[in-house]
A and B are shown apart, each in its own frame.
Chain A
Amino acid sequence: MSALPAGDPNATDHRPSTPDAHRPADGSLASRQAALVAALVAGGPPPPGFAPAPLAAARAALLRKRAGEVARHWPLLAAALGPSWPATFMAWAGDRPTGGGLRDGWDLARALQARRALPALGADELAVREATFRYDADEPPRRRRSPAVGRAGGAVAVQLAGRVRLIRPAR
């Protein structure tokens, strides 16, 4: 498949509020496309009739591409995880449809933090993001207009008038 470059400013706006990926197929093109996308990115059952190996290759290719996009949005998180980055991302993302690279990385960083598995550099990056944007995991991140403190795993970032500083890095 053709590679799909990153950089879509709208990419954060498409997370489904109520995925209907598992609805029964009625045989129409729309329902069959939905079932295929669900199988590829949302942990849905493989649609009947498709050869399993090519479908698995496509699923893996989608995840690899997504891991690369998230790494571009969260370079410190990806770098801190180093060789384990692709596996860490793919294990987390396998049955989660993308919300765009920024949100995917954000959700993963918070999930890692919740289980105390967020590396220090990733915590620094998350703290800076938390101070810069308001993000509740349901709606796309919005730039904060008032001063804010962002914390993650011991890292503390402060944002004043749009300027963000990491005042205490995580260790």
Chain B
Amino acid sequence: MTGPRGVGIGWRPEIAGFVAELPGLQFVEVIAEAVPTAGPPPDALVELRQRGVTVVPHGVRLSLGGAEPVEPARVAHLAAVAELLAAPLVSEHIAFVRAGGVEAGHLLPLPRTREAVDAVCANVARAQAELPVPIALEPIAALFDWPDDELDEAAFLSEILARTDALLLLDIANVHANARNRGTDPLALLDRLPLERVAYLHVAGGAEQGGFYHDTHTDPVPPPVLELLAELCARRRPPAVLLERDGHYPPAAELRAELDAVAAATGFPLVT
């Protein structure tokens, strides 16, 4: 069980062949909800594990920020995937994805209030009680804010991390998106986050549309995100960084070039 290190990529069935042929790869992430736990994991993941590649289950539907208690079956599934893949940690989001019995279909931001901090911390504690490994929490990109925020983003995140003792999964593209859409300074946020708690970074592509920066995961990583990634690593480089791509997959050469650009921005060895 080695922790995430170096440049990784989000494993998706559509790019399993591409991922399998990356010679220097030491770390991937897999969407936890997509891994069945009734039988063996997908062959491609088993082969990566046999090569010594660390596989981190990344949950997207726990709804840790929901006012309701996290569903035990979802936590049990995440725990089972972690066991199945001998993962050193799991990750999830500081967000909610359903409320009042209705699925939002996406990660939604919380009000940055004491009540929301309490709700997240309670759910993280419920999850930690059942998980076999540590959990890293990822702040999301939000297109909107709630009208009654009591805390700024740095205070909100720092309080949750301090109270839960969770690790931080910092998505540098989300930091860029939020700063761009709120008109704030992304470096000011980085300066106030506990960077020593970062288990690994996310980086992903996005696009400007309708006056907003959308964190699409289906577009190339834009230069400002790579620059922010380099700025972060100049402050304190975390052990690993992972490229997320979730659709509109480019030709292999373009995806390799993107991984190389991430390696260049962070100073990690090339994996291609």
Which residues in chain A, 99-147, are within 8 Å of chain B measured between CB atoms? 99
Whole-angstrom distance between the Cβ of B38 and the nearest chain A Cβ: 10
Which B residues are CB-close (under 8 A) to A42?
Answer: 102
For the complex, what is the distance from the CA of A38 to the CA of B100, rounded to whole Å? 8
- Contact of B221 with A by CB under 8 A: no
Question: How many residues of A are in contact with the other chain, CB < 8 A?
Answer: 50
Q: A2-B141, A30-B100, A36-B108 are in contact. List 17 more A-B contacts (CB 8 A).
A: A3-B204, A4-B60, A4-B105, A5-B60, A5-B246, A8-B31, A8-B34, A10-B33, A10-B61, A31-B100, A32-B111, A36-B99, A38-B100, A54-B181, A61-B214, A62-B106, A65-B105
Known A-B contacts A3-B216, A3-B218; A40 and B104 likewise in contact (beta carbons under 8 Å)? yes
Whole-angstrom distance between the Cβ of A31 and the nearest chain B Cβ: 8
Task: Kindly report which residue of chain B lies nearest to residue A22, judged by CB atoms.
Answer: B100
Known A-B contacts A4-B106, A9-B33; A33 and B244 likewise in contact (beta carbons under 8 Å)? no
For the complex, what is the distance from the CA of A4 to the CA of B145, rounded to whole Å? 19
Inter-subunit contact A28/B67 (CB<8 Å): yes
- Contact of A51 with B by CB under 8 A: yes
Task: Kindly report which residue of chain B lies nearest to residue A17, judged by CB atoms.
Answer: B101
Inter-subunit contact A98/B105 (CB<8 Å): yes
Which of B's residues lie within 8 Å of A, judged by CB? 10, 12-13, 31, 33-34, 36, 60-61, 66-68, 93, 95-109, 111, 113, 115-116, 119, 138, 140-148, 171, 174, 181, 202, 204, 210-212, 214-218, 244, 246-247
- Contact of A78 with B by CB under 8 A: no
Which residues in chain A, 78-113, are within 8 Å of chain B measured between CB atoms? 97-99
Inter-subunit contact A37/B108 (CB<8 Å): yes
Inter-subunit contact B105/A7 (CB<8 Å): no
Inter-subunit contact A9/B104 (CB<8 Å): no
Which B residues are CB-close (under 8 A) to A34?
Answer: 99-100, 102
Inter-subunit contact B107/A1 (CB<8 Å): yes
Which B residues are CB-close (under 8 A) to A54?
Answer: 143-145, 181, 212
24 A-B residue pairs with CB within 8 Å: A2-B217, A4-B60, A4-B105, A4-B106, A5-B31, A7-B13, A7-B34, A8-B33, A14-B98, A29-B116, A33-B67, A38-B100, A38-B102, A48-B147, A50-B146, A54-B144, A57-B143, A57-B212, A58-B144, A61-B106, A62-B104, A65-B105, A69-B105, A97-B103
Whole-angstrom distance between the Cβ of B225 and the nearest chain A Cβ: 13
Which of A's residues lie within 8 Å of B, judged by CB? 1-5, 7-11, 14, 16, 18-21, 23, 28-38, 40-42, 48-51, 53-55, 57-58, 60-62, 65-66, 68-69, 97-99
Q: Which of A11, A23, A61 has the most CB of B within 10 A?
A: A61
Inter-subunit contact A98/B108 (CB<8 Å): no
Which A residues are CB-close (under 8 A) to B106?
Answer: 1, 4, 61-62, 65
Which B residues are CB-close (under 8 A) to A61?
Answer: 106, 143, 214
